Amino acid sequence: MTDPQIHAIEVQLLLDALRLRHGYDFNQYARASLERRLHTLSVSLGYHTLSAMIPRLLHDATFVDEVIAHVSVPVTEMFRDPSLYLGLRDRVIPYLATYPRIQLWLPGCATGEEAYSLAILLHEEGLLNQSTLFATDINDTALAQAESGVFSKDKLRQFTRNYQLSGGKGVLEDYFRYHDQSATIHDRIRQKIVFAHHNLVSDGDFAETHLIYCANVLIYFNDALRNRVLDVFRKSLVRGGFLCLGPQERLLGSGEESRFAELDPGCRIYRSHPPQSDSSPTHDQDVSS
């Protein structure tokens, strides 16, 4: 069994190699879960120690993609947390509908399931044509898979129940073209999403958005990084814009509570700089900063 002190040194050396050689800084990720993922990667590749991966990380330019794919936690599914999509339909869509043009940002989009879910929701609410969704991630391998819009039929069967529970107004399968073992999402959905590389650790605010959907991402960050990212989100939102964190996250203790109003406590949906008078969702009340 590896000495804990030696193990800690190995972890830090590996993170330093990632940062200095490739520009990816994971030092502010929650350390316990990060170490578990690094250990799982090393075992799967047949390395007996974490430090044994460092020479390959330094000298094999393609290896970093494999490391990032494991470290960045691309875990997702369509209409994950159905109650969250119900909350968006009921509490946010009426406000978004007041805008002639809508921009949405999904940081940490992984392989795209939730980006496509949100696009389908917007389509069913009659807002997709006036919307652009920016789906970003640090993991270029996951982004390529997301942009393809291809999913296995087995996964679609799993996603159907989520879609139904989320208030879906049609049949999920109707949004796909089918092949032997896979299905590709229709172009009318896919063409409204722009997939791009963005690093929440080091990059700044992104576009000027009306809704940021970032569920199940901040839980992997330590407090300092979490607060930095929340500040980036605030700066990226128009005045009166919406931040959707999902039931696993909260603003409490971040220093951002005073800058947001809680719109849906159960789903952790917040509104930035809400107007003082907010009796109805009119565009006049939601003036971009």
- Three-state DSSP at 47 gives coil
Q: What is the DSSP letter of 221?
A: B
Question: Mean pLDDT for the chain?
Answer: 88
β-strands 209-213, 102-107 pairing = parallel
Given the structure tokens 């992104």, which residue do they identify? 206
DSSP state of 77: -
Per-residue model confidence as pLDDT tens digits over 143-194: 999 999 999 988 888 899 999 999 999 999 999 999 988 999 999 999 999 9
CA–CA dist 141, 69 (Å, integer) = 7
Number of helical (H) and strand (E) elements in the chain, helices listed first: 11, 10
Nearest alpha carbon to residue 178 among 212, 152, 160, 139: 152
d(CA 90, CA 99): 17
- 228-253 pLDDT, tens digit each: 999 899 999 999 999 999 877 777 55
Distance between alpha carbon 30 and the CA centroid of its chain, in Å?
Answer: 17
Instruction: Tell me which of 6-10, 68-72, 162-166 is least confident.
Output: 68-72
Domain 82-285 listed as CATH 3.40.50.150: yes
Q: Which is nearest to 262 in space by CA: 102, 91, 103, 104?
A: 91
Q: What would the mean pLDDT of 211-220 be, rounded to a whole number?
A: 90
Task: Tell me which residue of 194, 236, 229 sits closest to 212, measured CA to CA.
Answer: 236
Give pTM, 2 decimals. 0.86
CA 124, CA 85: separation in Å to the nearest integer?
Answer: 12
Domain residue limits, the chain: 4-71, 82-285
In the chain, what's the furthest Cα-to-Cα distance? 64
Q: Which of 6-15, 223-232, 274-283 has the lowest mean pLDDT?
A: 274-283
Instruction: Mark out the alpha helices in the chain (DSSP H runs).
Output: 4-22, 31-44, 54-59, 63-71, 82-87, 93-96, 113-124, 140-148, 153-165, 187-190, 223-236
